[in-house]
Chain A
């Protein structure tokens, strides 16, 4: 077990919170929403979202992209009152981007919950040229910036919200194993 790899508990609302904001990189709200709690808001990423700020429909608000959602999150947390719980659900890159925004806004232990969900796609950090590569599905991938063929390690940086990518043929040039999909 890689120590840098966070462990995620199943999603569940924390009843000690006074208000709950769920942000997900997926198109649908998570299963198991507890409807006995009030003040629950869900932000989703649906590619067909309106693209301009709209009044919330019920307690659900769709965004066109993760980028748009995260920008709004920063704004929202800057104005939020204490008592809020933030739940980030989706790819590891997304949930740690959201968690980092929450920490910068002053949230901490007991206020931020992260849950991995959806397709196992990784953000990969090319350790040779520092390029971020989004949504990588397999463990061997070329860096689009420096053309290194990267082996995607299980080493995860929470600060960068990314997995480390290291040249695969560093030892024996030209020897590239067959890519495999990520199991976790």
Chain B
């Protein structure tokens, strides 16, 4: 669908809030995201952004200006104007609040706060939110954070005693984590070492892992070879080559874009495949994962 940007608010030098309105927007529950098609100099970017709660039914997202941006966030920060119309895919949700949880422990870092802003406005959802950010961004995140003692801001990761926090939770608590890969990996391995069952750990990542070395993918069935540049995902490279591989979340969460790897070794950045599937290297999620070898042969 085509949606117009109704409003742009600057929250800090690096953070802007965008509001989209339109007639009869489909309802989007907490954890949903939008995929925006963002114009770029060379090609269109498709970026996924979590919807922060929108009680009036408008869609709102918060976009961070990424230093090594692949184009999307720079365009939104520097060029987008109210009234601009973007192609937007109807919201998808791969990060519902777990339904059988009586309490939620929410951990986020940086722009990973966004889905939890929607959680926090969900009535009846009992939560404790811990958010980590850089000291220079504390001011703008404090303004975004929900009010109350159950939402705590930490200006460096060390200030948050994650071990103590994870160890003292009750059996009825589920853990949800959203943030950069290093933050998520640290929290996940700590939680697992404290005996958290995988069924109670819920993850939302965003395609921040796309930065990396260039490599090429050879496609067995299509018979072509596509170069993947630094800052570009396999999915984006295939799309740029005019192909239409299946995908939904574009963030390594839904499993839709899984492809079989026939030759070469993938470097996994998703949270979908199991550890043993990752070790076997026989398949990969092309929206976030890259290659260790200079070339991959994919069954596509």
* A111 and B197 contacting across the interface, CB-CB below 8 Å: yes
* B192 and A111 contacting across the interface, CB-CB below 8 Å: no
Q: Is A108 an interface residue (CB 8 A)?
A: yes
Q: Is A84 an interface residue (CB 8 A)?
A: yes
What are the 6 tightest A-B residue pairs by CB atom distance, in nearest-first order? A83-B195, A106-B172, A18-B195, A110-B197, A106-B171, A109-B199
Selected from A81, A85, A110, the residue in CB contact (under 8 A) with B170 is A81
Interchain nearest-CB distance for A111 vs B (Å): 5
* B199 and A110 contacting across the interface, CB-CB below 8 Å: yes
Closest A residue to B196 by CB, please name it: A82
* B195 and A107 contacting across the interface, CB-CB below 8 Å: no
In the complex the two chains form, what is the Cα distance from A109 to B198 in whole Å? 9
Selected from A19, A77, A108, A109, the residue in CB contact (under 8 A) with B195 is A19
Q: Which residues from 124 to 179 on chain B have a C-beta closer than 8 Å to any C-beta of chain A?
A: 166-173
- Among A17, A85, A106, A109, the most chain B Cβ lie within 10 Å of the Cβ of A106
Q: Which residues from 72 to 123 on chain B have a C-beta closer than 8 Å to any C-beta of chain A?
A: 100-102
Given contacts A108-B200, A109-B199, contact A18 B194 (CB under 8 A): yes
* B171 and A16 contacting across the interface, CB-CB below 8 Å: no
Interchain nearest-CB distance for B232 vs A (Å): 37
Selected from B100, B171, B173, B194, the residue in CB contact (under 8 A) with A111 is B171
Interface size class of A (residues with CB under 8 A): 10 to 19
In the complex the two chains form, what is the Cα distance from A85 to B200 in whole Å? 13
Selected from B101, B168, B199, the residue in CB contact (under 8 A) with A81 is B168
Name A's B-contacting residues (CB within 8 A).
16-19, 77, 80-85, 105-111
Given contacts A16-B192, A18-B194, A106-B102, contact A82 B199 (CB under 8 A): no
Given contacts A82-B194, A83-B194, contact A107 B171 (CB under 8 A): yes
Selected from B101, B170, B192, B196, the residue in CB contact (under 8 A) with A80 is B170
Inter-chain contacts of B172 with A (CB < 8 A): 105-106
In the complex the two chains form, what is the Cα distance from A19 to B100 in whole Å? 23
Closest B residue to A16 by CB, please name it: B195
- Among A16, A19, A82, A108, the most chain B Cβ lie within 10 Å of the Cβ of A82
In the complex the two chains form, what is the Cα distance from A81 to B101 in whole Å? 15
